[in-house]
Amino acid sequence: MEQVIEDIYRQHSRRVLATLIRLLGDFDRAEEALHDAFAAAARTWPVDGMPNNPVAWLVSTGRFKAIDHLRRRARFNASLQHIEDGLYPDGTEAEIGDMEPIEDDMLRLIFICCHPALAADAQTAMALREVCGLTTEEIAHAFLVPAPTVAQRIVRAKNRIRTENIPYEVPVGAELPERLDRVLHVIYLVFNEGYSASSGSTIVRADLTAEAIRLARLLATLLPHPDVAGLLSLLLLQESRRAARQDVDGALVLLADQDRSRWDRSKISEGLSLLASALRAPDIGIYTVQAAIAAEHAKTGSTEETDWRRIAFYYDLLIAAHPSAIAELNRAVAIAMSEGPGKGLALVDAILGKGELTTYHLAHSARADFLRRLGRRAEAIQAYETALTFCRQEPEQVFLRKRILELTT
């Protein structure tokens, strides 16, 4: 039962939190209620058995626990009664049994994290903390800033949400498209954290990739827009490869070595259809360009058949529209595949020379691979070791050690 509860926490805790924020009207109170609910589950489920709807049970229990805390902390006065009335608008404390009202709460959470009243860096930190469940240390590592700085951003954002009474809702009318870019970015970040976890013992967090795709679909129904279609296309095309990205032991399998028969053809078909629709728009968004890159992989039977020159061209378009050191790194890999590792090495060295990716393990891993292919073994080993010092995901660490061992024996 302990493992079951851990799995439910991993897969559903953010959705439970999102609903508790709506019900309780406060981030900190909701987080406390979330942990109280899971503590109650750990005590009662082994004895009474798991409820039919564990997510609804956790929401209901968390809400009741919050009321109990309020009753202990405050006198029974009019203000407390007002709080309780807000938590139980229907005048009942019945357990939540219908999941339908809960489904939109993750999207509400993303929109409040992306509210224009919050600073842009705080929006991203809030989204990764509240939607993905990343720790402040993990967020700090991802954005190369001190952990206390991230914590301060999140605290300030929560205080502003509270003091300005920012509504916990999906906006309507003109406000919806105005906030679209930030929301798409957050959904993209959620998917990326699931597709290649920043740390831990697994390559993929399927709960996050599935949630990101669900949210993109929900957003598409609220706001049919080419950029939404482009993002959903990208997510589906990337997700189609998930089963082939690791072997039966959980080890990393590179794109060139993947069994493409394991790629999900239904997701590829849907992704290509969405891409075709998005490409008909007058203006092509950055997610549509990235989806076009993913489509080049999806349409071919092997790495050798892939049109790497076209992929490099798409990265040129992406960098022109949205300059990014990561996009430059990916372009370098595409050029190395089409023009040779020497050209790729020169490009990566130039990128690292700018200083933006000096602690990004994949930049050093790409450099090491180019050196390995050029037969420069000693330099390749050193580059792999540098990548290893910055890598926090266990399967990738295992892969890097394997490469080092291959070059030293």
DSSP 210-269: HHHHHHHHHHHHHS--HHHHHHHHHHHHHHTTGGGSB-TT--B--GGG--GGGS-HHHHH
- Closest alpha carbon to 228 in 267, 281, 149: 281
Instruction: Note the residue count of the chain.
Output: 409
- Closest alpha carbon to 34 in 129, 164, 148, 149: 129
Enumerate residues 6+ apart whose C-beta is below 8 A from 283. 226
Same domain, 27 and 94: yes
- 380 domain-assigned: no
Question: Which tokens sit at 141?
Answer: 């590592």
Give this prediction's pTM. 0.79
114: domain range? 104-165+177-223
- 376 domain-assigned: no
What does the pLDDT read at residue 175?
77
Angle between helices 2-24 and 120-130 (to 10 degrees): 140
Structural domain count of the chain: 2
- 336 domain-assigned: no
What does the pLDDT read at residue 347?
97
CB atoms within 10 A of CB 305: 9
Same domain, 151 and 187: yes
Question: Which tokens sit at 139?
Answer: 């967020």
Same domain, 98 and 108: no
- 27 domain-assigned: yes
| Single-letter code of the amino acid located at 105 | D
Same domain, 157 and 209: yes
- 280 domain-assigned: no
- 377 domain-assigned: no
Per residue of the chain (409 residues), give pLDDT as tens.
Answer: 888 998 899 888 888 998 998 888 888 889 999 999 999 999 999 988 999 899 999 999 999 888 887 777 655 455 555 554 555 444 433 344 444 444 578 888 888 888 888 988 888 888 888 887 888 887 887 676 788 999 999 999 999 998 888 888 888 777 777 788 888 988 898 888 888 877 777 788 888 898 889 889 988 887 789 999 999 999 999 999 999 998 888 889 999 999 999 999 999 999 999 999 999 999 899 999 999 999 999 999 899 999 999 999 999 999 999 999 999 999 999 999 999 999 999 999 999 999 989 999 999 999 999 999 999 999 999 999 999 999 988 999 999 999 999 999 8
- 98 domain-assigned: yes
Same domain, 53 and 159: no
> Is residue 22 a contact partner of residue 105, using CB atoms and an 8 Å limit?
yes
What does the pLDDT read at residue 104?
78
List of long-range contacts for 152-155, beta carbons under 8 Å, 24+ apart? 153/119, 153/121, 153/122, 153/125, 153/126, 154/122, 154/125, 154/126, 154/129
Backbone angles phi, psi at 111, to 5 degrees: -65, -35
Same domain, 74 and 7: yes
Same domain, 98 and 126: no
> Is residue 127 a contact partner of residue 110, using CB atoms and an 8 Å limit?
yes
- 319 domain-assigned: no
| Single-letter code of the amino acid located at 401 | R
Same domain, 131 and 89: no
> Is residue 226 a contact partner of residue 278, using CB atoms and an 8 Å limit?
yes
Same domain, 133 and 91: no
Domain final residue pick, 51, 74, 103:
103
> Is residue 404 a contact partner of residue 211, using CB atoms and an 8 Å limit?
no
Same domain, 109 and 96: no
> Is residue 236 a contact partner of residue 213, using CB atoms and an 8 Å limit?
yes
